[in-house]
A and B are shown apart, each in its own frame.
Chain A
Amino acid sequence: MSMKTSHATFKERIDIQMQDDYMRQSVANAQERMFTNRAKAAEALGNWEQWREMGKEIRQHVLENLDYYLEQLSDKVVENGGNVFFASTAEEARGYIEGVLKEKKAKKIVKSKSMVTEEIDLNKAIIGLGCEVIETDLGEYILQVDDCDPPSHIVVPALHKNRTQIRDIFKEKVGYQGTNDPEEMTRFVRQHIRHDFLEADIGITGCNFAVAETGTVSLVTNEGNARLATSLPKTHIAVMGMERLVPTFEELDIVVSLLCRSAVGLPLTGYVTALTGPRESDQCDGPEEFHLVIVDNGRSAILGSEFKDILRCIRCAACVNTCPAYRHIGGQSYGSIYSGPVGAVLSPLLGGYEDFKELPYACSLCQSCNDVCPVKIPLSDLLLKHRRVMAESKLTPLGERAAAGFFNFVNARPALWGKTVKAGAKVANATIKDGKMPFNVGPLKDWTDSRDLPQPDGESFRSWFKNRQQTKGDQQKNEAGDHHD
């Protein structure tokens, strides 16, 4: 799967998604649960605003000194006996990983959850080599067996499915015979993929944060699958976005604290794993070979742009869990592996405006994402910047540009604006009857599809105020006149 997950247009996608009542109920329930848990966890930790500020400063510091920390990380990984590859593009990253697979004559690969491997379309490349690849994160596994259904959430990829739908998928695709009880289904998958872990030649993981000082790759999971994927196969390949690192374990502690609370509302997840290099001679487990693939794929360009704040992102999805637009359209409507507010900012940057031009508009600018982001990314401001870039490079519809031009022409001319308002009030009063207008086209129709128009209050305020001041003035004059008489 690459960044882009659909060939349908945005409108087609939201029309389909919004008719999916199961999805909408699942998303609404999950949002409320995760939002509430996040708020409770933040409250329980105390001084949440200071924690956020610290998270922001750490991430900002790393971005400002990224070259230094990347070099330190790379040197350390090599010193620890690992290999490092810097991939400028998705193609280079795939090429390097394909090379390792060929060299190891790999047949079976187990993966733990990783967004960046989806971004670079890795599974397709692995399958193209004739290898078998098994997603071992439960959510990713569900999607993989469901004919590679695209993820709808960056933390909980199968959020759009309910337990009965999942049971049916397992029944049809992998011969599951049990009930829709989550524990029973999880037990089934656990047993089902156990032999894959044992047989796999290579384990591929993402990387939540790399620690530059020690050359460590850390993984934050809930299922323990990443531990099996990094300890049973002889080779471990970790793939990371080039911005995903922290200077030392001290900062790792802070960002992991923010991540777990913001993502799932818990002080910690089930497993936080720190892997530092391949197995050493005196150790009894771990991979014999370790590769770290550091992916740029457009990130350097973002770093040098007005969108650089988005690179602070720690992929917790708190913004997704609070977004009211996401709530109604679900993750697959975004047509990108990255959905919600973070996806609407990131997808056009990594995948271009052509495929993702609507996403920055799928936002009411309510700013609740800004409020929950643990590293204080001004998401709604970045969405506005996207709109600005598109408007100013004429990527917006001609009619809209003309309307904006006309509006700005009138609005910059006070006398003309005053006349327009007075005329507008007259037209509104003459035409709006019981919430409807006699004509219903364009934006008017878009409004009235769901709601009625307001009942106008008569003449414009400015006409009323002017008359009132005049009357007052006349009265004062008269009073003054009376006095002189």
Chain B
Amino acid sequence: MKVNFFVTCLCDTVKANVAKRTVALLEQLGCEVIFPEAQSCCGQPSINSGYVESSKPAMKSFIRAFECNDYPIVTPAGSCAAMVKAYPEYLRNEPEWASRAQAVADRLFELTQFVVRELGVVQLGAKLVGTAVYHPSCSLIRKLGVRDEPLSLLAEVEGLTLLPIDNQETCCGFGGTFSVKMGEISGEMVKEKVRHMSEVTPDYLIGADISCLMNIGGRLHREGKAIKVMHIAEVLASR
């Protein structure tokens, strides 16, 4: 099976290892990975700040980039997937573009959603010994409705025990531009998340959205906590 890989700007620039593990994972599952080079950012920083009109050329450019074939599109980030899935609504006044956006959105899957729902696989032969807190991101659980998929994948990882924390499904405070525009509020939110996490002293923090992991990880690093931050693609590639 051929799949397109939508890397997301954060993974492309600073967290390439997550992207590489995702590619490795898809290849392990028998997929041939295509990287459409014309892809760019989903536009979230601008769209969620209200600059919808001036973001439309970039949305269209993104749609064009993934119209290069009809294969599924897979991305290791819930928030970017949710953004692209909102394109049809933003472009509804341009019916032709709205339907092209819909066609791309329909082919787009968040990584765990693709592996579990589309490929029907949960056992990947991964091994990671220790305890972990899994952070269910707002984008996954509330925007995409992806709640059980990451958990069923993690349940099959040999040696890994997941620990529940208080207010587990509360936002970590990232929120895109919110993290800098409302830095004080965002900061308090991530401090609380780290406090709850520290109460159970896990070895790892695992998530499926690199933006949340950067946020929580940045706070963990600031507090000098020895909790290793891992994207689920990295966990599933561990042996």
- Distance between Cα atoms of A99 and B13 in the complex (Å): 67
| Distance (whole angstroms) from the CB of B20 to the closest CB of chain A | 7
- Is B185 an interface position by the 8 A CB rule? yes
CB contact under 8 A between A404 and B170, given known A362-B182, A362-B185, A451-B190: no
Please tell me if the beta carbons of B189 and A364 are within 8 angstroms of each other in the complex.
yes
Please tell me if the beta carbons of A446 and B183 are within 8 angstroms of each other in the complex.
yes
Please tell me if the beta carbons of B173 and A411 are within 8 angstroms of each other in the complex.
no
- Is B92 an interface position by the 8 A CB rule? no
Instruction: Closest B residue to A425 by CB, please name it.
Output: B13
Of the candidates B11, B19, B54, B217, the one having the most CB atoms from chain A within 10 angstroms of its own CB is B54
Report the stretch among A76-84, A241-249, A269-277, A323-331 that lies at the interface: A323-331
| Distance (whole angstroms) from the CB of B213 to the closest CB of chain A | 8
Band of interface residues on A = 35 or more
Please tell me if the beta carbons of A428 and B13 are within 8 angstroms of each other in the complex.
yes
Please tell me if the beta carbons of B48 and A370 are within 8 angstroms of each other in the complex.
no
Interface flags for B180-221 (1: CB within 8 Å of A; 0: not) read: 111111111111100000000000000000000011011101
CB contact under 8 A between A451 and B219, given known A408-B58, A414-B39: yes
The interface residues of chain A, by DSSP majority, are classed as helix
B 16-64 contacts with A by CB, 8 A:
16-20, 23, 35, 37-41, 43, 45-46, 48-55, 57-58, 60-61
- Is B165 an interface position by the 8 A CB rule? no
Taking CB atoms, residues of chain B closer than 8 Å to A404 are 45-46, 49, 51, 54
- Is B128 an interface position by the 8 A CB rule? no
With beta carbons under 8 angstroms apart, the residue of A396, A414, A454 that contacts B14 is A454
- Is A407 an interface position by the 8 A CB rule? yes
Please tell me if the beta carbons of A453 and B180 are within 8 angstroms of each other in the complex.
no
With beta carbons under 8 angstroms apart, the residue of A367, A417, A425, A446 that contacts B16 is A425
Please tell me if the beta carbons of A460 and B50 are within 8 angstroms of each other in the complex.
no
- Distance between Cα atoms of A28 and B44 in the complex (Å): 30
- Distance between Cα atoms of A386 and B50 in the complex (Å): 8
Taking CB atoms, residues of chain B closer than 8 Å to A367 are 138, 142-143
Please tell me if the beta carbons of B183 and A450 are within 8 angstroms of each other in the complex.
yes
- Is A452 an interface position by the 8 A CB rule? yes
Taking CB atoms, residues of chain B closer than 8 Å to A325 are 182, 185, 189
- Distance between Cα atoms of A353 and B179 in the complex (Å): 22
- Distance between Cα atoms of A451 and B184 in the complex (Å): 11
Please tell me if the beta carbons of B190 and A450 are within 8 angstroms of each other in the complex.
yes
With beta carbons under 8 angstroms apart, the residue of A384, A417, A428 that contacts B48 is A384
With beta carbons under 8 angstroms apart, the residue of A32, A400, A462, A469 that contacts B49 is A400
- Distance between Cα atoms of A459 and B214 in the complex (Å): 18
| Distance (whole angstroms) from the CB of B13 to the closest CB of chain A | 5
Instruction: Closest A residue to B15 by CB, please name it.
Output: A457
Taking CB atoms, residues of chain B closer than 8 Å to A456 are 13-15
CB contact under 8 A between A413 and B183, given known A365-B138, A407-B46, A454-B217: no
- Distance between Cα atoms of A370 and B174 in the complex (Å): 18
- Is A308 an interface position by the 8 A CB rule? no
CB contact under 8 A between A450 and B219, given known A324-B189, A389-B50, A413-B61: yes
A 358-382 contacts with B by CB, 8 A:
361-368, 370-371
With beta carbons under 8 angstroms apart, the residue of B54, B189, B190, B222 that contacts A435 is B222
| Pairs A-B, 8 closest by C-beta atoms | A364-B175, A450-B187, A451-B218, A391-B50, A387-B50, A446-B183, A366-B171, A412-B57
By a beta-carbon cutoff of 8 Å, the part of chain B in contact with chain A is 7, 9, 11-20, 23, 35, 37-41, 43, 45-46, 48-55, 57-58, 60-61, 65, 138, 142-143, 167, 169-171, 173-176, 178-192, 214-215, 217-219, 221-222
Q: A367-B142, A449-B184 are in contact. List 15 more A-B contacts (CB 8 A).
A: A14-B185, A324-B173, A361-B181, A363-B175, A367-B138, A368-B170, A390-B50, A404-B54, A408-B43, A414-B40, A450-B188, A451-B218, A460-B16, A461-B11, A465-B23
